[in-house]
């Protein structure tokens, strides 16, 4: 299977601090990769680099064949809107927009907002009845599902999750993970998800463990 992500000797330093040591990583199309490690291990740094939110200090990083290190600021913005969907732990929804408008905003930056399509995306994540509600009127789990709808609305080939269930209770976590698996199975996009939670990690195909900026261990959680 072709690789969606390929890094070679990828590093990221902040001054004298080396957050990510030379990393060689290959993620095949459609794979769900979980990244685990304690705080400061470099997992979020890796995720930011994969999402084009940060630039590497050294090495190369190719996503769907594009060398992200060579892209301009606006080129990285185009890459993010065309290829990547990102889900955060803190949801980060725009408070003064409704659930529907939050999803449509992602469409607006990508191409043309389509209300019917946005409504359909929210219905897919089980929020067809919460379209007009603002983030403050939604539970944590519901807000995270809006984030998932927003992340998948432009049909990205890569979904990045930075501890997306970190703020959710067990029931909501299970609901979100089931939803992600269902969507992944339908859309066949790849997922790279950072988590501390062993149970969450078990939903992926493969888990890599990081420590002090290095990949220290890798395990396959289930057969692809």
Partner 1 sequence: MLIRILKSSFLKRPKPVLLVLLSIVMGSAVATAFLGISGELSHKMALELRSYGANIVLEPAAGDAGALKSDDLPKIKTIFWKHNIVGFAPYLFGQVDFSSAAGRQRGVLAGTWFGRPLQVPGEPDSIQGVKVTAPWWELDGRWPETPDEAVIGAGLAKRLKLAPGSDIVATAAGKERRFRIVGVASTGGFEEEQLFAPLAEVQALLNKPGQLSRVLVSALTVPMDDFGRKDPSRMTREEYEKWYCTAYVTSVAKGVEEVMSGSRAKPIWQIASAEGALLKKLDSLMLLLTGIALFSAACAVSSSLMAAMAKRSPEIALMKTMGADRLQIAAIFLGETLVISVIGGLLGYLAGDRLAVVISRTVFDSTVTSPLWLFPTAIGAALVVALAGSAAPLKRALAIEPVRVLKG
What span, in angstroms and rounded, lies between the C-alpha atoms of 103 and 84?
A: 15
Q: How far is the CB of 203 from partner 1 (least distance, A)?
A: 23
Q: How far is the CB of 165 from partner 1 (least distance, A)?
A: 15
What span, in angstroms and rounded, lies between the C-alpha atoms of 175 and 152?
A: 17
Helices H / strands E in the chain, number of each = 7, 10
Q: How far is the CB of 136 from partner 1 (least distance, A)?
A: 10
Q: How far is the CB of 12 from partner 1 (least distance, A)?
A: 10
| Interacting residues toward partner 1 by CB under 8 A | 44, 48, 51, 53-54, 73-74, 77-82, 84, 86, 88-90, 92, 94-97, 101, 104-110, 113, 150
Closer residue to partner 1 (CB): 25 or 153: 153
Closer residue to partner 1 (CB): 18 or 175: 18
Q: How many CB atoms neighbour CB 43 within 10 A?
A: 29
Q: How far is the CB of 150 from partner 1 (least distance, A)?
A: 7
Dihedral sign, Cα of residue 170, residue 88, residue 103, residue 63: negative
Closer residue to partner 1 (CB): 175 or 192: 192
What is the Rg, in whole angstroms, of the alpha carbon atoms belonging to the chain? 17
Tell me which DSSP letter residue 205 carries. Answer: S
Beta bridge partners of 151: none
């Amino acid at each position: 299977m072709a690789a969606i992500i390929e890094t070679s000797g990828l590093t990221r330093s902040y001054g004298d601090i080396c957050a990510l040591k030379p990393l060689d990583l290959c993620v095949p199309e459609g794979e769900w990769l979980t990244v685990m490690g304690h705080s400061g291990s470099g997992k979020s740094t890796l995720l930011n680099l994969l999402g084009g939110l940060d630039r590497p200090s050294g090495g190369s990083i190719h996503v769907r064949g594009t060398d992200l290190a060579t892209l301009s600021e606006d080129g990285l913005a185009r890459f993010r809107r065309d290829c990547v969907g990102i889900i955060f732990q803190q949801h980060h929804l725009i408070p003064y927009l409704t659930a529907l408008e939050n999803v449509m905003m992602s469409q607006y930056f990508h191409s043309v907002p389509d209300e019917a399509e946005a409504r359909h995306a929210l219905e897919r994540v089980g929020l067809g009845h919460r379209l007009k509600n603002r983030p403050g009127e939604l539970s944590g789990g519901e807000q995270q599902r809006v984030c998932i709808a927003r992340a998948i609305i432009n049909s990205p080939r890569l979904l990045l999750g930075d501890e997306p269930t970190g703020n959710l209770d067990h029931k909501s976590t299970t609901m979100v993970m089931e939803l992600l698996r269902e969507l992944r199975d339908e859309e066949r996009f790849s997922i790279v998800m950072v988590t501390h939670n062993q149970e969450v990690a078990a939903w992926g195909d493969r888990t890599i463990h990081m420590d002090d900026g290095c990949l220290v261990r890798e395990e396959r959680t289930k057969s692809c």
